[in-house]
Amino acid sequence: MFDIKNALSKIKVNAEWIGLREVRESTTYHMIRDGKPQANHTGSTHGVMVEVLANGQFGYFGTHNLTDTSIQLAAEKALEQALLASKYAIYKFDQSARPVAKGEYQSPFTMAQNTVSAGEINQLLLKANNVLKVSDKIVSVYANAIITNTDFKFVSSNGSDVRQNFLMTRINYSATAQDSGVTQSRSGGTSGHQIGMEALNEPVILTDCKKIANQAVELLTADECPTDTMDLVMAPDLMMLQIHESIGHALEIDRILGDERNYAGYSFVRMHDFGKLQYGSNLLNITFDPTVSGELASYGFDDGGMKAKKEFIIKDGVLVRGLGGKESQIRSGLPGVANFRSSNWNRSPIDRMANLNLEPGTASFDEIISSVERGVFLETNRSWSIDDYRNKFQFGAEYGKLIENGKITKTVKNPNYRGISNPFWNNLSMVGNTDTFEVHGTPNCGKGEPNQVIRVGHASPVCKFDDIEIFGGA
Amino acid sequence: MKEYFLKLTDKIMAQLKDGEHLKVGFSGEKSQFVRFNNAKVRQTGLVEDLDLSVDFIFNNRIMSCGLTLLGELDSDFDLVMAEINRMRSEISELPEDPFIVYPENKGSSQESHNGTLLPFEKSVDALTPAMQGVDLAGIWASGRIFVGNSNSAGQKHWFATDSFSLDYSLITPDEKMVKATFAGSDWNQSKYEKFMANSIEKLKMMEKSAIKIKPGNYRTFIASAGVRDLLGMFSWNGISEASIQQGQSAFGKMRNEGVKLSPLFSVSENFSHGTIERFNGNGEMAPEKLSLIKNGELETTLVSTRTAKEYNKETNFAGDGEYMRACEMATGKLSQEDELKVLGTGIYLGNLHYLNWSDNTGGRITGMTRYACFWVEDGKIVAPIENMRFDDSIYNIFGDKLEAVGNSLDYHPDVDTYGGRELGGIHCTGVLLKSFALKL
C-alpha cells in the first residue's frame, strides 16, 4: 500500500520545495439505450504527481509507478526539468506559491456507493428507458448513471498534509422524437453534484423522464422560435452555461496573463479592470464558493494548498476579484481565490472555476414572466460557442416558451440566442428569488496545455435579460 | 513495453474459465510537456502513464473496466485479476446484451515507428532561443506513445510511435495572432529554426490595423486549418451510423432525403499514412481506405460491429464511437498560389475556433474566425479583420456554395492531450466558398 507521507520522507533531492499529490479515482458508468445495456464500466486511475521547486521554477513528474525507486527517480527528473527551464522562467517563484495546508474534506452523502448494486442501477435505468418511450414518435432514449469516487492526498516538504474525498453521482436521460422529417430531443437529470446513492431517487427520476419525453414529442409540432430582438428569460440549467462561458473563463487570471492564448484563448478583461469594470447590471452578484454543500466543485483546499472560502467576484455588477490561484495572484498582484486545480495526478494545476454562482435576487418566477411584453423562456443548453476573448457567444437551448404580454403562450423549437458578454450582462434586468434558484454543475470543462477536463459547479436563479438577439433553426 | 504487454495479457488470459471471453486494451506514454507564454517557460514536466482496459464477457453479458498499471508484472496481474473477479461476481445481475462484439482472431499485427526525438533534458535549450524577440504562447509535447490490444481468441495488435509537436501562437503587441504546429518524429534543429523564422515573418502581415466588417454573406476562402475543424465536426453526430439511426446526425438529410453535397467534395478514411493504429478498441482492423463521401454523395457511414448488429448493417470496423480516425479529404484544382487571385474580393480565413452544431440535424454549425484572417480585395490582402461569428450549414459550405478545393493536402496532427497524447490527425486542403454567413 502506497504511503504518501512515507514516500515524501524518502525523497532525496536538493530542491527548495517538494510536493506529492496522489490521486486515486474510480468512475462507474452504467448506460441503457433503447432498452439494451450499452455500458457497465468502471474506470480507475491512480498515480502521483511529484513537484519540485528549484531556482524559482517548478518542475513536475507524474508517474503511475509508486515504488520508492520510481518516486525518487521522478523527483530527480522533475528537479532536472525545473533547473533546465529556470533560465527561461516566466516568473521566479518561491515557497510562498505553495502555502502550508492541513486539513480534510469529505463530500456530503447519506447513502454510500456500495449500498446499491450494479444490477439495481441497471433495473432503474431500464425503467427510465420504458418511461421515456411515451410515444411511437420517440425513436431513441437513453438513461445513464455515473458515480465517481476520488481520493486526493497532498503532502509537501513545508508541512502540508491534506486529505480530501469526493463522491459524485449523476443520472442523465434523454428522449429523441422524430416525425415527418423533424427531430427533437429533450434531456434531463442531475448534471453533477456531490451526493451519494440517494441521487438515484426512482420516483423523481421517472416523473422527470415522462415530462421531458412528452416535451420532445411536443416540440415536433411546435413553431420555430421567432427571429427577433426581445427579452430572454433563462432557466438555471441554461444560466449555468452562460455564467461558465461568459463570466467564468473570462475572469481566470492565467488567461488574462496570457497562458491560455494558444488554446482556449485570452480574455476581454484586463488587469486594470478589477475594481472598476461594470461587468453587469447592478443586479449581478457572482460568488466563487467552494463551500456550498453538495455542489459539484466544493472542496476544502485547492491543489496548491490554499484553503477554500467564499469570495465575491462581481459585487453589484462591479468586477472585484479574479479567478486565480496563488501562482496567478503572485504573478499579477491581483486578489484571487483558491482555484489552482488539476484534473488528475498526471496534470499540473492551473486556474479553474470550481463553483461559480449567481446569487439570488428578489423576483418571483411569475413576476419575471409577467414583466415580459415579448420574449422567450428557455431551458437546457444544447449548443454553445464563444470566441477566444469570451466576447461574442452563441448558445442554443432544447426547449423554449414564447412569452407574450406577460404570459407564456406556446412552445417554440430550436431556440438560439447570441450576444457579447459585457453588454449582455449589463442587460440583466431581473434576478429570480431563492424559489427559482437551482444548483447545477458539469464534469466537462476543458482547458489548459496539456489539456485537462475538470468539474465545475454553477448555481443560479431564473434571470431575465432585455433586448437580446434570438432566432430559430435551419 | 510490447513484451510487458504480451506477458501480462498472456498471464491474464490463462486465468479465463469456460464461457468467459476477454478483450484487453493497453496504452501508455512517456512524455515531456513544456508550456510557453511570452516565449518563456510557464510550466514544465514529464508524465509516464500506463493503462489497461478489459472487456469481460460471460453468458451474453458484458462488463468492462480500466485501470492504471504500476508496471510491475506480479502487482499488475493481481490488480487486473481483482477487477476480473469483481466483474465475475457482478455480471450475472446485468441484463443480457444482444449486440456484444465477441473476440475473434483475424490475425495479429505490430507496427513501431522509432523516431529521433530531442532528449528531454535538451528540449528547452533547443526550442527557446529561436522564439526570442516575439510573444509566443504554446505547448511542446514529445515522447513515445504505445497502444496494444489482445483478446481471448489469441489475436494481438501492437502500435508504438515516437513523436513531437510544438503547437504555438505568435502574438503582435496589439494582439493579432498567427498559429502554427511544428511536428514530426525526427527532430531537425535547423528545420525547426527555419519553420519558426517563417512563422515570425508571417506575423508581420498581422501588424496592419484590423478592420471591422459587418455581418453578412461573404465570398470566403477557408484555409486547411479551418477546414480541419469543420471536418472534425463530422465525428460528432455526423458520419456515425448509430447517430443517424438514433436521429441525431447532421447527415440524416443525406441518408433520408437524398440531399447531396458538392461534387467537388470527397472525404475518406485513409490509414495508409501510418499516423495512428488501424485496429480499433475491439481489436478489429479497419480497411486501409474507406470512402465516406464521394463527389458529394454519402457512400457509407462509419459502422461499428456493434451498430451493424443492432441495425442490421454491414460493419466497416469503425471504433465504438464511430468517429473518423484517419480523415482525408480529396484534393481539387485550386493551387495555393491562386487562392487569393481566385478569391478576388472577400475574406481569407486562416483558422476557425470553438465550433458547435447550432442545429445538429439541420447541419448548421456556428463558430468563430481566429488567427490569420484577412479582408482581400482584387486578390490582394488589405488588412486583418476583427474576429467574427459565423453560422452556416455544411450543406452550404461543402454543398452548393463550394466553388473550388485546394490541390494539395496539409497534414494537421491531433495535438490534443486530454487524458493522454493523441495519435493521428487530419489531411485536408482549403476551400473557396461563393458565400459564407457571418452573423456577429
Residue A41 to residue B72, Cβ atoms within 8 A = no
Helix boundaries (H) for B163-251: 189-204, 224-232, 241-245
Q: How far is A289 from chain B (nearest CA, A)?
A: 26
Could you give the C-alpha distances from A426 to A104, A285, A430, in angstroms and in order? 40, 12, 11
The amino acid sitting at A158 is N
Nearest to B41 among A46, A78, A90 (CB): A90
B61 neighbors B97 (Cβ within 8 angstroms): yes
* Residue in A74, A95, A89 with CA at minimum distance from that of residue A22: A74
Protein fold of B2-207: PmbA/TldD fold (3.30.2290)
Nearest chain A alpha carbon to B76: A65
Residues of B in contact with A420 (CB under 8 A): 440
Q: How far is B113 from chain A (nearest CA, A)?
A: 23
> Phi, psi at residue A441, to the nearest 5°?
-175, 165
Residue A388 to residue B366, Cβ atoms within 8 A = no
User: Would an 8 Å CB–CB cutoff place B60 in contact with chain A?
Assistant: no
Looking at residue A95, what is its pLDDT?
Answer: 96
Helix/strand number for chain A, H first, E second: 9, 23
User: Would an 8 Å CB–CB cutoff place B361 in contact with chain A?
Assistant: yes
User: Would an 8 Å CB–CB cutoff place B68 in contact with chain A?
Assistant: yes
- The dihedral of CA B231, B237, B241, B245: what is its sign? negative
CB within 8 Å of chain A, chain B residues 176-215: 177, 179
> Cβ atoms within 10 A of the Cβ of B242, count?
25
Angle at A242 between CA A239 and CA A246, to 5 degrees: 155
CB within 8 Å of chain A, chain B residues 378-417: 387-389, 391, 393, 416-417
* Residue in A115, A134, A133, A117 with CA at minimum distance from that of residue A198: A115
Residues of A in contact with B65 (CB under 8 A): 41-44
Which is it for strands A57-63 and B40-58: parallel, antiparallel or unpaired? Answer: parallel
User: Would an 8 Å CB–CB cutoff place A423 in contact with chain B?
Assistant: no
Angle, helices A202-220/A118-132, rounded to nearest 10 degrees = 30
User: What is the distance of C-alpha A351 from the center of its chain?
Assistant: 13
- Rounded CA gap, A416 and B358, in Å? 8
User: Would an 8 Å CB–CB cutoff place B41 in contact with chain A?
Assistant: yes
A309 neighbors A291 (Cβ within 8 angstroms): yes
User: Would an 8 Å CB–CB cutoff place A126 in contact with chain B?
Assistant: yes
- The dihedral of CA A463, A465, A469, A472: what is its sign? positive
CB within 8 Å of chain B, chain A residues 69-88: 70, 74, 77-78, 80-82, 84-85, 88
- Rounded CA gap, B53 and B151, in Å? 11
Question: What is the rounded radius of gyration, in angstroms, for the C-alpha atoms of chain B?
Answer: 24
B61 neighbors B94 (Cβ within 8 angstroms): yes
> Phi, psi at residue A442, to the nearest 5°?
-140, 140
Read off the pLDDT of residues A270-285 as tens digits, 9 standing for 90 and up.
999 999 999 999 999 9
- Rounded CA gap, A351 and A369, in Å? 37
Residues of A in contact with B168 (CB under 8 A): 262
Please name the residue that has the C-alpha cell 444544447.
Answer: A382
Nearest chain B alpha carbon to A89: B41
User: What is the distance of C-alpha B155 from the center of its chain?
Assistant: 26
Nearest chain B alpha carbon to A34: B246
Could you give the C-alpha distances from B376 to B342, B379, B392, in angstroms and in order? 11, 6, 21
Strands (E), A131-236: 138-156, 161-179, 182-190, 223-224, 228-234
Residue A47 to residue B68, Cβ atoms within 8 A = yes
DSSP classification of residue A277: -
Boundaries of every domain in chain B:
2-207, 216-438
Residue A37 to residue B120, Cβ atoms within 8 A = no
Q: Residue B249 is placed in which grid cell?
A: 446526425
Read off the pLDDT of residues B73-97 as tens digits, 9 standing for 90 and up.
999 999 999 999 999 999 999 999 9
- Rounded CA gap, A199 and A171, in Å? 8
User: What is the distance of C-alpha B25 from the center of its chain?
Assistant: 20
> Phi, psi at residue A357, to the nearest 5°?
-120, 150
User: What is the distance of C-alpha B95 from the center of its chain?
Assistant: 34
Nearest to B168 among A65, A66, A262 (CB): A262
Looking at residue B207, what is its pLDDT?
Answer: 86
Stretches where chain B sits below pLDDT 50 are: none
User: Would an 8 Å CB–CB cutoff place B98 in contact with chain A?
Assistant: yes
Residues in a beta bridge with A63: A48, B48
A303 neighbors A21 (Cβ within 8 angstroms): yes
- Rounded CA gap, A65 and B78, in Å? 15
The residue of A76, A449, A453 whose CB has the most chain B CBs within 10 angstroms, and thus the best one to mutate to test that interface, is A449
User: Would an 8 Å CB–CB cutoff place A93 in contact with chain B?
Assistant: no
Helix/strand number for chain B, H first, E second: 10, 20
Residue B95 to residue A32, Cβ atoms within 8 A = yes
Strands (E), B69-134: 109-113
Residues in a beta bridge with A183: A178
- Three-state DSSP class for residue A396: strand
Name residues whose C-beta falls within 8 Å of residue A123's C-beta, 6 or more positions apart in sequence.
none
Residue A297's H or E segment, with its range, is none
- How many residue pairs from chains A and B have C-beta atoms closer than 8 A? 256
Q: What is the DSSP string of B188-205?
A: -HHHHHHHHHHHHHHHHG
Nearest to B358 among A122, A383, A392 (CB): A383
- Rounded CA gap, A67 and A73, in Å? 10
- Three-state DSSP class for residue B103: coil
Residues of B in contact with A414 (CB under 8 A): 359, 362
- Three-state DSSP class for residue A99: coil
Q: What is the dihedral of CA A459, A463, A467, A470, to 10 degrees?
A: 60
- Three-state DSSP class for residue A401: strand
Looking at residue A474, what is its pLDDT?
Answer: 60
Residue B97 to residue A39, Cβ atoms within 8 A = no
DSSP classification of residue B303: -
- Rounded CA gap, B239 and B234, in Å? 5
The amino acid sitting at B69 is L
Nearest to A46 among B68, B120, B125 (CB): B68
Read off the pLDDT of residues A450-468 as tens digits, 9 standing for 90 and up.
999 999 999 999 999 999 9
A353 neighbors A308 (Cβ within 8 angstroms): no
A176 neighbors A40 (Cβ within 8 angstroms): no
Residue B293, phi-psi category: left (phi > 0), alpha (psi -120 to 50), beta (remainder): beta
Name residues whose C-beta falls within 8 Å of residue A202's C-beta, 6 or more positions apart in sequence.
A124, A127
- Rounded CA gap, A29 and A42, in Å? 6
> Cβ atoms within 10 A of the Cβ of A133, count?
18
Nearest to A346 among B47, B138, B171 (CB): B47
Please name the residue that has the C-alpha cell 455500458.
Answer: A39
Q: How far is A36 from chain B (nearest CA, A)?
A: 6
Residues of B in contact with A44 (CB under 8 A): 65-68
Boundaries of every domain in chain A:
4-221, 224-471
User: Would an 8 Å CB–CB cutoff place A140 in contact with chain B?
Assistant: yes
Q: Residue B96 is placed in which grid cell?
A: 443480457
Return the exposure string of A245-262: e unless at least 16 CB atoms fall within 10 Å of the residue's CB, then b: bbbbbbbbbbbbbbbbbb
Q: How far is B217 from chain A (nearest CA, A)?
A: 16
Residue A122 to residue B356, Cβ atoms within 8 A = no
Residue A237's H or E segment, with its range, is helix A236-243
Sequence-separated contacts (24+) of A254-259 with Cβ below 8 Å: A254/A324, A254/A328, A254/A350, A254/A351, A255/A351, A256/A322, A256/A332, A257/A328, A257/A331, A257/A332, A257/B37, A258/B37, A258/B38, A258/B135, A258/B137, A258/B171, A259/A350, A259/B35, A259/B37, A259/B42, A259/B137
User: Would an 8 Å CB–CB cutoff place A418 in contact with chain B?
Assistant: yes
- Rounded CA gap, A276 and B249, in Å? 46
Q: Which CATH number fits domain A4-221: 3.40.50.2300, 3.20.20.70, 3.40.190.10, 3.30.2290.10?
A: 3.30.2290.10
Q: Residue B221 is placed in which grid cell?
A: 476562402
Angle, helices B73-90/B2-13, rounded to nearest 10 degrees = 40
Q: Residue A30 is placed in which grid cell?
A: 452504467
Stretches where chain A sits below pLDDT 50 are: none
The amino acid sitting at A464 is K
Q: How far is A434 from chain B (nearest CA, A)?
A: 32
Residues of B in contact with A347 (CB under 8 A): 47
Q: How far is A149 from chain B (nearest CA, A)?
A: 14
A163 neighbors A55 (Cβ within 8 angstroms): no
Please name the residue that has the C-alpha cell 521554477.
Answer: A57
Q: How far is B430 from chain A (nearest CA, A)?
A: 22
User: Would an 8 Å CB–CB cutoff place B233 in contact with chain A?
Assistant: no
Nearest to A122 among B95, B141, B171 (CB): B95
Residues in a beta bridge with A103: A162
Please name the residue that has the C-alpha cell 486465468.
Answer: B15
* Residue in B264, B263, B306, B257 with CA at minimum distance from that of residue B284: B306
Q: What is the DSSP string of A120-141?
A: HHHHHHHHHHHHH--STTEEEE
> Cβ atoms within 10 A of the Cβ of B130, count?
21
> Phi, psi at residue A388, to the nearest 5°?
-75, -10
Nearest to B71 among A65, A122, A384 (CB): A65
